[in-house]
Structure 1
Amino acid sequence: MRIVLQPLGGSTNTYWSSVFGPEVRLPNPGAMEAVVFIVSLADCCALIFLSVYFIITLSDLECDYINARACCSKLNKWIIPEMVAQCLSTMLMMVSMHWFIFLLNLPVAAWNIYRYTKVPMGNMGVFDPTEIHNRGLLKSHMKEAMIKLGYHLLCFFIYLYSMILALIND
């Protein structure tokens, strides 16, 4: 069995098929690279939406439109999906050997995991209604959400550029 790397739908010489047996056709590596960036782009769009949701919910709490318990329960249910989405994007870049983008994603993924694992046992989650107004935690959560929004916007344009480049080079 011989493995042939060529664009899908391309033709091969039938003589070699008769000599060496059936061929296994793998998709073009450039097409797989484009798929990686398309998935990362969709993932990044979801993370941008989530960052905007965090900012809106925290600003509603800051203006007393909702109470602390409702705000924290809304935000805590999105901590694990945010962490999974960020780790998915990081792992995709590692597996596809895009080392610069992997190293760009790694600190944010590590921060999300660290923040989730360091929640004290008595707390409701990362966002705790009894402590969110103490020690300026609301301001720090708001600042973190703003920084993540800027980071995800930067990553969005990097993924978009890389996807276009992969599609053109394919």
Structure 2
Amino acid sequence: MEALVFILSLADCCGLIFLAVYFIITLSDLECDYINARACCSKLNKWVLPELIGHSAVSVLMLVSMHWFILLLNLPVAAWNFHRYLSVPSGNVGVFDPTEIHNRGLLKTHMKEAMIKLGFHLLCFFIYLYSMILALIND
């Protein structure tokens, strides 16, 4: 049972890593003017809710399986994702808004956030992989 929890977490984490890389590539395309702000924000806003659901699923999985350290590791990022999703100002298209992405350095902020998430998910990937191997050895 414990190995299955970490296999599912590992698969979810792989998806979140690919999503973080997609965010970085799309934001860098906007930064280099390969795409316009509307196209960039449209692409990224489609994936905000799946990212939120994916990260929340791992957190719930760790809560149910009583892996407290990993849950505490995931909670701040899950809370940040919920905060960003719920605090979108009225009138904005979504978390990524084409009219505001170039204002106040938001593009750089979004890029930093995507890089931090990529690093976090890579760290979690290796934690889940190590935990899965331990669970398979102990069974």
| TM-score normalised by the chain length of structure 1 | 0.82
Tell me if 1:162 matches 2:94: no
Choose the corresponding residue for 1:137, options 106, 114, 130.
Answer: 106
Aligned partner of 1:159: which letter? Y
Q: Which is bigger in relative contact order (C-alpha 8 A, separation at least 6)?
A: 2
Kindly name which structure, 1 or 2, has the bigger radius of gyration based on alpha carbons.
Answer: 1
> What is the count of residue pairs matched by the alignment?
139
User: For 1:114 and 1:34, how far apart are their aligned partners in 2?
Assistant: 31
Show structure 1 runs of 5+ residues with no match.
1-31
Shift of residue 164, structure 1, vs aligned partner: 0.2
Following the alignment from structure 1 to structure 2, what is the Cα–Cα distance between the partners of residues 105 and 120? Answer: 26
Residue of structure 2 equivalent to 1:19: none
Give the one of 71, 76, 92 matched to 1:123. Answer: 92
Select 1:75's aligned residue among 44, 47, 55.
44
Partner of 2:8: 39
Structure-to-structure mapping, 1:11-90, within 5 angstroms: 32-90=1-59
**Structure (1 or 2) with the greater helix fraction:** 2
For the residue of structure 2 that corresponds to 1:121, the secondary structure is coil
Q: Which has the higher strand share?
A: 1
Supply the distance in 2 between the matched residues of 1:116 and 1:39 (Cα, whole angstroms).
24
- Residue ranges of structure 2 left out of the alignment (5+ in a row): none
Measured after TM superposition, the shift of residue 69 of structure 1 is 0.1
Cα deviations by residue, 1:51-91 (Å, 9 ceiling, x for unpaired): 00000000000000000000000000000000000000000
* RMSD (CA atoms): 0.2
Give structure 1 regions of 4+ aligned residues with deviation exceeding 3 angstroms. none
Percent of residue pairs identical: 82
Question: Post-superposition shift, 1:150?
Answer: 0.2
Per-residue deviation, 1:134:
0.2
TM-score by length of 2: 1.00
Which residue identity does 2:4 align to in structure 1? V
Once the two structures are superposed, residues 78-112 of structure 1 have per-residue CA deviations (whole angstroms, 9 ceiling, x without a partner) of: 00000000000000001000000000000000000
Structure 1 distance, partners of 2:62, 2:126, is 15
